[in-house]
Amino acid sequence: MIREPVVEGQFYPHNDAELRKLIKGFGLKNGPKISARGIILPHAGYIYSGRVAATTVSKVLPRPTILILGPNHTGLGPDFSLWARGSWRMPSGLIEIDEALAEQILSKGNYIKEDDLAHKNEHSIEVELPIIHHFFGDFKFVPISCKISDPQIYEEVSSQIFEAIKNKKNDILFVASTDLTHYEPESCARRKDRAVIEAIVNLEEQDLLKKITALEISMCGAAPVAIFISCLKKLGARKSQVALYETSAAVSGDLSSVVGYVGMIVK
């Protein structure tokens, strides 16, 4: 089965030439690459969040398989939905699902279900693929769409993933897709986002979830990021750093209502 793009030409360019031109315009600098276990990327339109995402991906070494956890904005499908077969069409062509890894994940527990519906009209994973392909070239991937649930459920989901990938961890780069505070004044958004980023830097998913609740932070990817942190700690991750943080005001100039975007690297 081929999944057709739903936000191509809206959130990101519809061909490779335009994508290369856009990324070149971000003025990224070449430097040494980091051997990362995982990265956190925003998923807004590239005009707003593309520089944060591209900066982050450009700093890490490619791996042959990408496991992407994204929020479920549509509410469709099971709580944790894995698209297990076929490929997704991108401006560069088809990007194949790692079907063997998908089957392994599905076989290790009952929380993650094979499901296409949650992904049909969801942009949070799709938006990451063109930038990853631009810097990495060919790769296979496994997409998992995540709804909001209980912290204990996130732990169970991370365990299901870990059991499937623990013997091939060096082949896999984890990606968690999220935007941060939505549509609040710049000063308020930065204060709330700072609390989120601090918890991620410390790799404390329980602290992250508590802060999101206590501060009423409208971060859409709480579920994928909590699962991401939990799973990477099981794989031995010890450090996390910020690659770039910006708000939409960097482009719009509107400080009265912004969305926060962060790119982070976990080693």
CB of 107 closer than 8 Å to CB of 164:
yes
Q: What is the mean pLDDT of residues 116-130?
A: 97
**Position 169 pLDDT exceeds 90:** no
* Closest among 208, 187, 186 to 264, alpha carbons compared: 208
pLDDT of 29? 86
Give the separation between CA 155 and CA 205, rounded to whole angstroms. 10
**Position 7 pLDDT exceeds 90:** yes
Q: Hey, how many other C-beta atoms are within 10 angstroms of the C-beta on 139?
A: 17
Q: What is the mean pLDDT of residues 204-215?
A: 98
The CA distances from residue 121 to 8, 92, 250, in Å, are 12, 20, 28
Q: What is the mean pLDDT of residues 214-219?
A: 98
pLDDT of 23? 95
Strand 172-177 and strand 65-71: the pairing is parallel
Give the separation between CA 187 and CA 191, rounded to whole angstroms. 6
% of the chain residues with pLDDT over 90: 97
**Total domains, the chain:** 1
- Would you give the distance in Å from CA 47 to the centre of its chain? 17
Locate 110 and state its tokens.
Answer: 């009952």
CATH number for position 165: 3.40.830.10
* Closest among 191, 169, 176 to 222, alpha carbons compared: 176
Q: Hey, how many other C-beta atoms are within 10 angstroms of the C-beta on 165?
A: 21
CB of 141 closer than 8 Å to CB of 95:
yes
pLDDT per position as a tens digit, 60-93 = 999 999 999 999 999 999 999 999 999 999 998 9
- CA torsion sign, 242 to 248 to 252 to 257? negative
Give the separation between CA 101 and CA 95, rounded to whole angstroms. 15
* Closest among 101, 263, 73 to 169, alpha carbons compared: 101
**Position 171 pLDDT exceeds 90:** yes
pLDDT of 95? 98
pLDDT grade for 30, boundaries at 50, 70 and 90: confident
**Concatenated DSSP letters of 229-257:** HHHHHHTT---EEEEEEEETHHHH---SS
Range of the domain at 88: 2-266
CB of 261 closer than 8 Å to CB of 48:
yes
